[in-house]
Amino acid sequence: MTKFYGSIEAGGTKFVCAIGDENFKIIERVSFPTETPEETMPNVIAFFQQHQTDLAAIGVGSFGPIDIHKDSKTYGYITSTPKLPWQHYDFIGELKKHFSVPMTWTTDVNAAVYGEYVAGSGKGLNSAVYYTIGTGVGGGAIQEGRLIEGFSHPEMGHMQVKHHPEDDFAGACPFHGDCLEGMAAGPAIEKRLGKKGQDLAADDPYWEIEAYYLAQCVYNTTLLLRPEVIILGGGVMKQQQMMKNVRQAFTKLVNDYVEVPALEQYIVFPALEDNAATVGCFAMAKEAALHN
Ligand code: ADP
Ligand code: ZN
């Protein structure tokens, strides 16, 4: 019997549900806005019910923070998210009411780094880090083929950064003000300039400031983890012209202190583009099915 895997990418603005085959090829994919659990989850359940007979496992990558501790009473919950209707929501518990297949549970960015690691820019490597620069900034990291998780999952998007000398924006993170997310995520750009990132010209001088924050992110990540590749994705990275400024500013920050791979292979876009998390969820679902 052909096996199919389910993927749920639960993002802050939209949910993407998909069915994939053994090779992680997407067979069917739907997307809907993230509303309340009462509105959104019935759509998720209805989608997978159509494919229930062939479904071997479901992988979930969710916005967070989430509880990833298998022995915790609240494993499978979204925890202290600022999205109030989803606070302390038993995501996996709800799915288990409807499906009896194995399920995996991780953050959306962990799913994305895993997807890139198995089938994208990290394929064939032992280590990779993925950042999304979108509505928020989130990061996931792989070392020796495993997601880095300790007391809980990383929250690398909230690292501290230095202000660009020409940037006096106070920051938009509700918790930290001028952390990386507070300075460089989409809403920070909009709050600072009164315009969304997609409405700024490609040659707007702001992009050099944005690149300076992303270069610090890559610099910190390099020194902390020395990964083989750092992948930058998410809506704000649609400004592809920024990549050269990020690489240049990073080179200046490192100042030859450590050796890094050739920058064109080191600081890159996601090879799977917007499907990184979906592929990562398929891959985790497949492993859960194999070990079940
Ligand atoms: P999410 O983070 O919710 O999953 P995205 O990764 O698409 O979604 O990020 C959305 C953010 O990216 C918004 O703040 C939006 O303004 C910004 N964005 C989307 N497209 C572009 C673009 N072409 N250039 C710059 N910013 C963009
Ligand atoms: Zn923050």
Ligand 1 atom closest to 196 (CA): 16
Would the CB of 135 count as within 6 Å of ligand 1?
A: yes
Kindly report, residue by residue over 162-203, the tens digit of the pLDDT. Answer: 999 999 999 999 999 999 999 999 999 999 999 999 999 999
Angstrom distances, CA of residue 151 to CA of 68, 107, 139, 158:
9, 14, 16, 17
Cα of 131 from ligand 1 centre, angstroms:
13
**% of the chain exceeding 70 in pLDDT:** 100
Which ligand is closest to the CA of 183, given by its number? Answer: 2
For ligand 1, whether the C-beta of 198 sits within 6 Å is yes
pLDDT digit string, tens, across residues 219-263: 999 999 999 999 999 999 999 999 999 999 999 999 999 999 999
| Nearest ligand to residue 171 Cα | 2
Query: Which segments within 128-218 are labelled E, that is strand?
Result: 128-133, 137-143, 146-147
Domains, the chain, with CATH or none: 4-107 (3.30.420.40), 121-271 (3.30.420.40)
Contact 158, 185 (CB under 8 A): no
Burial 103-122 (b: 16+ CB within 10 A, else e): bbbbbbbbbbbbbbbbbbbb
pLDDT (0 to 100) of residue 194: 98
Mean pLDDT of the chain: 96
pTM over 0.85: yes
CA distance 194 to 218: 27
Q: Are strands 55-62 and 103-107 parallel, antiparallel or unpaired?
A: parallel
Instruction: Please report the atom of ligand 1 found closest to the CA of residue 187.
Output: 14
Residue pair 120/271 in contact (Cβ under 8 Å)? The answer is: yes
